[in-house]
């Protein structure tokens, strides 16, 4: 009986473990360690970026990306004065960094989300309910991440199909040119054979005129 129960328990727990679950942690930003909400997604960074940024764009926020070779905050995107009612009814600054979970794994992504108010980290003043809302916001982003990943796969497959079709068209055009060249060669061979036959006949005629 135990042998039956164990696989059943594993089958019930494994899918749960695979779901994205936000947590509290820290990330380096603005030259100091910041309290942040962190979540890992088992999808490429581009899918996570598209999902998160499109969600904010629908709310009217594009965000400003930190740039510059010597900027230690490079890669963060700052959404100033954003109202995300799923998190809070207050205007907050959302500072987000999305990167591969590890250098060896491009299909897993870590998202860091720092929330500030008036230039100060707001997470320290969040109560348990506010923290849960922020985590749920990131957890609930998973279906949109999956959807964006599917779109990227479709786009990738469309590019593969497009390249294959382009290659096929090139091969077909090359074949047509070769067929036209072969036809011209066949015609040239026929003309050459006829010419040789005529010349041979002329040669025999000349030979027949030799005196014995």
CA distance 116 to 81: 9
Residue 11 lies inside a defined structural domain of this protein:
no
pLDDT tens, residue by residue, 144-180: 999 999 999 999 999 999 999 999 999 999 999 999 9
Structural domain includes residue 187: no
Other C-beta atoms within 10 Å of 35: how many? 15
What CATH code is carried by the domain that includes residue 130?
3.30.310
165 occurs within a structural domain = no
Residue 8: predicted pLDDT:
44
Model pLDDT, residue 72: 79
Q: Which pTM was predicted? A: 0.73
What's the number of domains the chain is made of?
1
Q: Establish if 6 belongs to a structural domain.
A: no
Kindly state whether residue 10 falls inside one of the protein's structural domains: no
Give me the domain span that covers residue 148. 17-158
Residue 68's pLDDT is 67
- What SS3 class is residue 40? strand
Residue 34 has pLDDT above 90, yes or no: yes
**7-32 pLDDT, tens per residue?**
444 444 444 344 679 999 999 998 88
Residue 197 located in a structural domain: no
pLDDT at residue 110 is higher than 90: yes
Query: Which residue would you say has higher pLDDT here, 140 or 107?
Result: 140
Q: Would 127 be classed as within a structural domain? A: yes
Give the pLDDT of residue 212.
62
pLDDT, tens digit (0-9, with 9 covering 90-100), for 44-91: 999 999 999 999 999 999 988 887 666 778 889 999 999 999 999 899
pLDDT of residue 15: 42
Lowest pLDDT segment from 100-109, 135-144, 180-189: 100-109
Q: Is residue 112 part of a domain?
A: yes
């Amino acid at each position: 009986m135990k042998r039956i129960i164990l696989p059943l328990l594993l089958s019930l727990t494994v899918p749960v473990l695979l779901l994205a679950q936000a947590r509290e942690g820290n990330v380096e930003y603005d030259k100091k360690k910041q309290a942040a909400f962190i979540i890992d997604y088992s999808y490429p960074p581009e899918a996570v970026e598209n999902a998160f940024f499109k969600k904010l764009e629908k709310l009217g926020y594009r965000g400003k990306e930190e740039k510059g070779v010597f900027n230690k905050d490079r890669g963060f995107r700052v959404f100033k004065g954003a109202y995300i009612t799923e998190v809070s009814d207050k205007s907050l600054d959302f500072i987000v960094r999305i990167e591969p979970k590890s250098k060896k794994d491009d299909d897993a992504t870590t998202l860091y989300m720092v929330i500030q108010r008036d230039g100060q980290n707001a997470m320290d003043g969040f109560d348990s309910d506010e923290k849960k809302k922020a985590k749920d916001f990131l957890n609930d982003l998973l279906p949109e991440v999956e959807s964006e990943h599917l779109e990227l796969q479709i786009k990738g497959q469309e590019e593969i199909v497009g390249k294959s079709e382009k290659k096929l068209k090139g091969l077909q055009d090359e074949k047509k040119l070769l067929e036209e060249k072969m036809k011209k060669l066949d015609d040239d061979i026929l003309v050459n054979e006829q010419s040789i036959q005529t010349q041979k006949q002329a040669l025999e005629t000349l030979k027949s005129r030799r005196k014995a």
